[in-house]
Structure 1
Amino acid sequence: MSHQLSSSVLLLWHVIAFLVVSNLVYASSLNGTTIGHTKHRNEVIIAQNGAVASDDRRCSRIGKEVLREGGHAVDAAVAVALCLGVVSPASSGLGGGAFMLLRLADGVAKAIDMRETAPSFASEDMYAGDADLKAKGGLSVAVPGELAGLHKVWKKHGKLPWKRLVKPAEILARGYKISPYLGRQMEATESDILADGGLRSLFAPNGKLLNIGEICHNKKLAYTLRLISEFGPKIFYNGLIGHSLVRDVQKAGGILTMKDLRRYTAKQKKPLSNDVLGLKILGMPPPSGGPPMMLLLNILSQYDLPSGLSGSLGIHREIEALKHVFAVRMNLGDPDFVNITAVLSDMLSHEFAKVLKKDINDNKTFSPSHYGGKWNQIHDHGTSHLSIIDRERNAVSMTSTVNAYFGSKILSPSTGIVLNNQMDDFSIPRSVPKDVPPPAPANFIAPRKRPLSSMSPTIVLKDRKLKAVAGASGGIMIIGGTSQVLLNHFVRGLDPLSSVLAPRVYHQLIPNDVTYENWTSVSGDHFELPADTREALKSKGHVLKSLVGGTICQFIVQDIEHSEKNKGIGKLVAVSDPRKGGVPAGY
């Protein structure tokens, strides 16, 4: 009887999920796809040997060729990340940082922290309470870490020559087409692009923004990549490129020095591990978004599943759980500078999750003070994500960033590198109104400190075998977006493509608004939370605001249930989120 009941509930959820996803209007001008998958969608592939899901078709293909040549998942990650830094420069690149989660075929897992650090001359009160100074311009630039991290992990696990992995990005930098999504990012930041000499020369060479499909030539970046391919990261952190970069930053009013570059180190850490939903979830340790995401899953796992997360009530519960998560999140900071042992223990604790779950009211929502948060939120911004599984089933989940669109809004004219504005992810002391929580001391600036981040690269295991690689771009919404994709697949039973396509909702506690997708993406798909769901949420007291944009997820699932000779090698289903126009690749 109980088996029949659970089967019926699961069947009901499949119907509900189909109807929810069907609220998306799939009249894609690019490929004429429909929600019933009656026509092929480019955003999903099935591969036997290896697969890459990234934000850009060109980069996914580059990664696939690396895998086909016998490259390790790490080799492909290097090539794909460098490619994304060229063709998606508003989101990531050599001027930024990243988090990488690596799970080897032998079961060993590693977390590589290549997050940017505050310069040595940085201080808690360096902005004198002026948030604009840390948002853009030279003073917003932190010490870049992506290249150091990529080379560090490649030296340990790479199979192909470094030069082979850098070459495709160098070639692209000489001339690449502006993608539809990059075109949107350029339009959104047009005034900033025109105000900076470096960005203007690249994206508006004739005083007017390049159009989608036009060729962008970043010859300086191509030369920078060529030097990096020959001399490795030392020329960046203690050589010609570094000196040029520092000079450009200081000319823009920044405080970056050669000493900062020389002292930068990417850190290998132990991944977080959480047993939840019948799975083992591997995530990045602080200062990433890994702990908040695990707390969210722990809270939601307390319900009867899948029925407990179905319909508008399930979405209400997700939102309420997110509010609790964000209340706890701002107690985190760089563990090298702040003692976060107790709060991290809580965030991984199922007992703590039970306490928070009991505080969720199914009939109404509350003001931010109800959730116990002491501190205001930091609103980190855009990113890029890649997910990779190779032939041997080594897996990489990596999220990289320059923070806001085009980072500090400065392109180093000497090197062609877009500079990050990662200092904006720190909290700063400042006066706030009585009804607004103060900034979080755990995330205050200190020299060489790493700011708090929402980036949440994730690897999922089932019965000690690799099951999925996931992650997202999208700033503060990454925690919710990545979690929703995992819940869609592993709890609600949606296939990988539908798990990514389903419309998303977000909450970050402050402001006390539910943001829901209502936009048409570059692929021509329209994403929108159904009207009846919105009305149900409003009836519980939620304030809803539509969102043009959101998270961009890259998801690869391995079919281990039907794996070859029970050795854990199953077919791979790779999905790139159409919201950014990405396409996966595999063989």
Structure 2
Amino acid sequence: MLLRHTIACLLFVFNLVYASSLNHTKTRNEVIIAHHGAVATDDRRCSKIGMEVIREGGHAVDAAVAAALCLGVVSPASSGLGGGSFMVLSLSNGVAKAFDMRETAPLLASKDMYGGNTTLKATGGLSVGVPGELAGLHKAWKQYGKLPWERLVKPAEILALRGFKISPYLHMQMEATESYILNDNGLSSVFAPHGKLLKVGEICYNKKLAETLREISKFGPQAFYGGKIGINFVKDVQNAGGILTLEDLKRYTVKEKEPISIDFLGLKILGMPPPSGGPPMMLLLNILAQYELPSGLSGTLGIHREIEALKHVFAVRMNLGDPDFVNITAVLSDMLSTKFAKVLKKDINDNMTYNSSHYGGK
């Protein structure tokens, strides 16, 4: 199978809102305004699964787990058990918590292991880190979940076993990686069972993933991080040229962190700390808040301001690093600082743009 480093985007995809409520108002086909709860993912089927969990009395974490596992089935190019994720919780008692379940580098990893070959960073066995999504979802569920674990995994298992329709987005990703799919027995058996890529709307079956989810529903994450699934996973990665070991899986640890926050337009915005993209997002919001909103960001001038702000944000972002190995205290403080954002805003010209060096680039 094609081994790619994937990141699961768990709670922050807003293409579609599918809300759960006993009292809601439908404003248009794609959006529902609710008063008691909502589940938002980038696939209606997964949003519906999360909604059903809420209606059964499940916690928001229960819904997030079920929806995330669903996304790993119907949107495997963007999410899945082989990747990692972040989760930010804001609880009813005022407590906020962040779960860092991102992938980590294998124990045998080294800074020169790619030998200058950038392709190896993106595809193949050497691109595979130690997956964290399943461990993180299970840990969050253990702390806050109300429904049985098996209940949350079952919908994804059923989708993989009984089949699901290929979405336009998934088909686009399949076309972008067609050569990989057709040259890989595992991938082609799922996405091109008759020698050609499945089309939008055609049914896709992933029975091996269904078997994996069934084991996980019964035995929890230990089936993945130390059991038969983990052993087979490590074997596949190593056969593809990777350096992942069973010891890597057994030693994986989810990190619990304090969320970062800023005040924006009178609201407290919570975000994921590094190594996520939370700090750059906070800096962008702080810069844009210096304009009179919403009028200050309307029209072509508003687009220009957003683009210029993003240039500054990405330049500052280059000073970040893995907090496990790099001291990023100072740059993180700047990225959350309103004072620093004001300095950058003053450097934005409404009538012109500049070369990269103006923004801190090289």
Secondary structure at the counterpart of residue 33 of structure 2: strand
Which residue, 120, 125, 129 being the options, matches 1:142?
129
Kept in 1, the 8 Å contact 2:27–2:33? The answer is no
Q: Which amino acid aligns with 1:179?
A: S
- Identify the residue that residue 243 of structure 2 maps to in structure 1: 255
- Identify the residue that residue 84 of structure 2 maps to in structure 1: 97
Q: Which amino acid aligns with 2:351?
A: N
Deviation string for 1:384-429 (max 9, x for gaps)?
xxxxxxxxxxxxxxxxxxxxxxxxxxxxxxxxxxxxxxxxxxxxxx
The Cα of 1:40 is off from its aligned counterpart by 6.4
The Cα of 1:82 is off from its aligned counterpart by 0.4
TM-score (norm 2): 0.90
- Identify the residue that residue 21 of structure 2 maps to in structure 1: none
Matched, 1:208 2:196: yes
Matched, 1:357 2:345: yes
Equivalent-residue separation in structure 1 for 2:27 and 2:336 (angstroms): 40
The Cα of 1:140 is off from its aligned counterpart by 0.8
Q: Which amino acid aligns with 1:81?
A: A
Which residue, 78, 103, 111 being the options, matches 2:98?
111
Matched, 1:54 2:41: yes
Matched, 1:63 2:50: yes
Moved more, 276-285 or 47-56: 47-56
Deviation string for 1:3-23 (max 9, x for gaps)?
xxxxxxxxxxxxxxxxxxxxx
Deviation string for 1:334-382 (max 9, x for gaps)?
2111000000001011111111111111111001111113xxxxxxxxx
Deviation string for 1:128-156 (max 9, x for gaps)?
11101111111111111100000000000
Matched, 1:294 2:282: yes
Secondary structure at the counterpart of residue 173 of structure 1: helix
Equivalent-residue separation in structure 2 for 1:60 and 1:311 (angstroms): 32
Q: Which amino acid aligns with 1:344?
A: L
Alignment of 1:113-192 (within 5 A): 113-174=100-161, 175-192=163-180
Q: Which amino acid aligns with 2:276?
A: S
Secondary structure at the counterpart of residue 111 of structure 1: strand
Secondary structure at the counterpart of residue 291 of structure 1: helix
Secondary structure at the counterpart of residue 273 of structure 1: strand
Moved more, 60-69 or 305-314: 305-314
Which residue, 44, 54, 59 being the options, matches 1:72?
59
Equivalent-residue separation in structure 1 for 2:254 and 2:178 (angstroms): 33
Equivalent-residue separation in structure 2 for 1:92 and 1:48 (angstroms): 29
Equivalent-residue separation in structure 1 for 2:263 and 2:332 (angstroms): 15
Equivalent-residue separation in structure 1 for 2:297 and 2:198 (angstroms): 45
Matched, 1:369 2:353: no
Equivalent-residue separation in structure 2 for 1:108 and 1:62 (angstroms): 26
Secondary structure at the counterpart of residue 275 of structure 1: strand
Alignment of 1:197-346 (within 5 A): 197-346=185-334
Deviation string for 1:509-563 (max 9, x for gaps)?
xxxxxxxxxxxxxxxxxxxxxxxxxxxxxxxxxxxxxxxxxxxxxxxxxxxxxxx
Deviation string for 1:168-199 (max 9, x for gaps)?
11111112221222122212221111122211
Deviation string for 1:33-54 (max 9, x for gaps)?
xxxxxx9632101233322111
- Identify the residue that residue 43 of structure 1 maps to in structure 2: 30
Secondary structure at the counterpart of residue 285 of structure 1: coil
The Cα of 1:261 is off from its aligned counterpart by 0.4
Q: Which amino acid aligns with 2:171?
A: G
The Cα of 1:293 is off from its aligned counterpart by 0.8
Which structure has greater helix proportion?
2
- Identify the residue that residue 491 of structure 1 maps to in structure 2: none
Q: Which amino acid aligns with 1:105?
A: S
Equivalent-residue separation in structure 1 for 2:114 and 2:175 (angstroms): 29
The Cα of 1:303 is off from its aligned counterpart by 2.2
Alignment of 1:424-443 (within 5 A): 437=362
TM-score (norm 1): 0.56
- Identify the residue that residue 13 of structure 2 maps to in structure 1: none
Which residue, 69, 74, 96 being the options, matches 1:87?
74
Secondary structure at the counterpart of residue 28 of structure 2: coil
Pair 94,353 (structure 1): closer, same or farther in 2 beyond 3 Å: same
Equivalent-residue separation in structure 1 for 2:274 and 2:230 (angstroms): 28
- Identify the residue that residue 8 of structure 2 maps to in structure 1: none
Q: Which amino acid aligns with 2:193?
A: P
Structure 1 unaligned spans of 5+? 1-38, 374-436, 438-587
Equivalent-residue separation in structure 1 for 2:201 and 2:285 (angstroms): 41
Equivalent-residue separation in structure 2 for 1:55 and 1:297 (angstroms): 23
Equivalent-residue separation in structure 2 for 1:324 and 1:260 (angstroms): 37
Moved more, 261-270 or 47-56: 47-56
Kept in 1, the 8 Å contact 2:308–2:348? The answer is yes
Kept in 1, the 8 Å contact 2:320–2:331? The answer is yes
Equivalent-residue separation in structure 2 for 1:173 and 1:314 (angstroms): 44
Pair 315,83 (structure 1): closer, same or farther in 2 beyond 3 Å: same
Aligned length: 336
Kept in 1, the 8 Å contact 2:264–2:286? The answer is yes
The Cα of 1:307 is off from its aligned counterpart by 3.2
Kept in 1, the 8 Å contact 2:279–2:335? The answer is yes
Equivalent-residue separation in structure 1 for 2:196 and 2:182 (angstroms): 8
Q: Which amino acid aligns with 1:132?
A: T
Kept in 1, the 8 Å contact 2:88–2:96? The answer is yes
Q: CA RMSD in A?
A: 1.3
Deviation string for 1:288-316 (max 9, x for gaps)?
11101111111121223333323222221
- Identify the residue that residue 529 of structure 1 maps to in structure 2: none
Percent identical among aligned pairs is 79
Q: Which amino acid aligns with 1:287?
A: P
- Identify the residue that residue 397 of structure 1 maps to in structure 2: none
